Structure 1
Amino acid sequence: MRLGIISALSEEQQGLVEAMQSPYKLIHGQRTYWVGQLWEIDAVCVLSRIGKVAAAVTTTTLVEKFGVTHILFTGVAGSGDRSIKVGDIVVAESLVQHDMDASPLFPRFEVPLTGMTHFPADHHLGTRLLDAAYAFLENDFSDAIDPLEKAAFGLRQPRIHRGLIASGDQFVNDREHINGLNAALPGLVAVEMEGAAVAQVCHELNVPCAVIRTISDNANENAATDFLRFVKSVAAQYAFHIVRRFCQQTKVL
């Protein structure tokens, strides 16, 4: 396995490059790729920047230039359902581009000439991520997150969800918008801006991928409030510990 780890923002990968053994840096296509060992797993870490095109370019480069065999995207997302709260963790079963609409030529959400609306995440990688996330909540969460940050964001008993993630080149911060997506996309657990593009590239290149997100907001009018604070103080800790546990359990399989 050579694992490609993608995030959109530098804060979402905080600590991972520092944890690498013997890392070296390569710059390609205006992105910095860090290559090394993460907990004895051959890995490449990179920031894609925000949006579907940026994520697709980064994913393609990881596979074609760096020989990555598996892709993991980690970061934050807005809640796709009222029952999913800030601090919860979502793992993708499948991903859809919620802003793809070439109707009436093709059905809404269908990527033209693929016949597909939903691109699957790899089941086995997703299951390993779920195991790592549960282990994080059970063993690391209480010490990893500062009590002041837990209080500020109301983090009491975070839960884990697996389901549909919707991506689009929009920061969703409108209650009517998210309600409309809920109605059109049953099983929606989160909205974000990159995952479905990664899933499409991985599907076309036959590379297993997984997407895990920490819920940072409720995708409503308050979505931007303290966003970067949450990413730095909460989501970065989630990502670091979950990726660590994912790598540690993967190396023994």
Structure 2
Amino acid sequence: MSFQQSFSYRNADRQRSAFHSRALKGCLWACGALAAVPFLAPSAAHACQTECTPRTALMTAYTTEIQPLIKATKDRHEYRIQGVRFTIGSLNGEPVVVFMSGVSTTNAAMNAQRVLDQFNIKQIVFSGIAGSVDASRNIGDVVVPSRWANYGESLYARETDAGYQPSTTVRKAGLAAYGMIYPRLTDVLSARSRNKEERLWFPASESLLALANTVNGVALESCASATQCTRDKPVLKVGGSGVSGSIFMDNADYRDYLHDVFDAQIADMESGAVAQVAYANQVPFIAFRSVSDLAGGEDDQNGKHIYSSMAANNVAAVVCAFFKQLSASPLSASKV
């Protein structure tokens, strides 16, 4: 190798070394700069990937719940994303995207986040049926809780000779246990804080609850057929607590436990999960639920197969009235 070739190789090595050194410093600087940022901006900055008109998301879990709402939606246009059908349009003057999340907490959380990522969502409204865990809430009633908990977030304690012994390393919610089942707090990671937050309750929007309180005069159905009618005339109730879990609740004793310990009025399989997604994304949320069954409190069999359509019609009627109020209010997605 000539002196000239050796010099050229050494020079190239020095240049590569200098380049990698600058790149490393740049990376370290960027990482340090990012570390100095306490948390990302609120996720209201989500990029709308599919359609960007400001809209209110209207969610249901399954077909019986969505049918009357789709029928009431005008100027419909449909998108299919990852197997989910999203229908955009206008419901009583409010720009909406209406869709089914699928049944249960995982589907509900996954598709609540999906609608936030794909569309320009200003608030989320859930409409569906539920089981009553409060003796004062009857078949056909429409309930709009002010807060939601995920009761399925629990510790199942090991059984010993001394009884059930819950792990001391698992943070429990401080509520009474049901046998081996100890309610836990839910971990939340979000733009609200750089640190993990632990919560039991996820709130509905105070502004949307106040608007729901202005809904009145909605005629609620009492009969599923000529021979199958509710004992009491259905009513609309705004406020109180709701609970959710990936469990179809049909047990009288556990029903009483949910009411006594969580002070819950109704139990369903989706709302608490959507409330958590909305909370993490700092998006206003409210859920309307009509009672289709007594979650195990019936004398003979669960009444959902009898009253689900009637309950779905009742909650849809209230939600449509709510959207009429919403479209005329400052909370409308068209005015935000």
TM-score normalised per structure 1: 0.89
Question: Do residues 172 (structure 1) and 225 (structure 2) align?
Answer: no
Question: Do residues 30 (structure 1) and 105 (structure 2) align?
Answer: no
Question: Do residues 184 (structure 1) and 261 (structure 2) align?
Answer: yes
- Tell me if the contact between 1:13 and 1:239 (Cα under 8 Å) persists in the aligned partners: no
Task: Quote the Cα distance in structure 2 between the aligned partners of 1:98 and 1:190.
Answer: 12
Counterpart residue identity of residue 316, structure 2:
F
Counterpart residue identity of residue 278, structure 2:
C
> Partner residue of 1:122?
205
Q: Percent identity?
A: 22
> Partner residue of 1:163?
240
Deviations for 1:71-115, whole angstroms, at most 9, x for unmatched residues?
010111111211211111211110001110246411133103422
- Tell me if the contact between 1:70 and 1:207 (Cα under 8 Å) persists in the aligned partners: yes
Shift of 1:226: 4.5
Shift of 1:245: 1.1
Structure 1 gap segments, 5+ residues each? none
For 1:112-151, list aligned pairs within 5 A.
112=187, 113-132=196-215, 134-136=216-218, 140-141=219-220, 145=221, 149=225
Q: Secondary structure at the match of 2:138?
A: coil
> Partner residue of 1:80?
133
> Partner residue of 2:185?
110
Counterpart residue identity of residue 254, structure 2:
H
Counterpart residue identity of residue 209, structure 2:
G
For 1:43-62, list aligned pairs within 5 A.
43-62=96-115
> Partner residue of 2:278?
202
Which among 129, 147, 153 is matched to residue 229 of structure 2? 153
Compared CA separation, residues 69 and 155, structure 1 to 2 (3 A)? farther
Task: Quote the Cα distance in structure 2 between the aligned partners of 1:168 and 1:237.
Answer: 23
Shift of 1:231: 1.9
Question: Do residues 68 (structure 1) and 121 (structure 2) align?
Answer: yes
> Partner residue of 2:295?
219
Deviates more, 1:84-93 or 1:217-226: 217-226
Shift of 1:63: 1.1
Task: Quote the Cα distance in structure 1 between the aligned partners of 2:226 and 2:325.
Answer: 27
Q: Secondary structure at the match of 2:197?
A: coil
Counterpart residue identity of residue 211, structure 2:
R
Shift of 1:224: 6.1
Deviations for 1:173-232, whole angstroms, at most 9, x for unmatched residues?
0111112222321x3110110011000000000000001110111111649645244222
Counterpart residue identity of residue 175, structure 1:
A
Shift of 1:64: 1.2
Q: How well do the aligned residues superpose, as a CA RMSD in angstroms?
A: 2.0
Structure 2 gap segments, 5+ residues each? 1-53, 156-166, 173-182, 188-195, 330-336
Compared CA separation, residues 150 and 236, structure 1 to 2 (3 A)? farther
Task: Quote the Cα distance in structure 1 between the aligned partners of 2:144 and 2:222.
Answer: 24
Bigger relative CO (Cα 8 Å, ≥ 6 apart)? 1
TM-score normalised per structure 2: 0.68
Compared CA separation, residues 27 and 219, structure 1 to 2 (3 A)? same
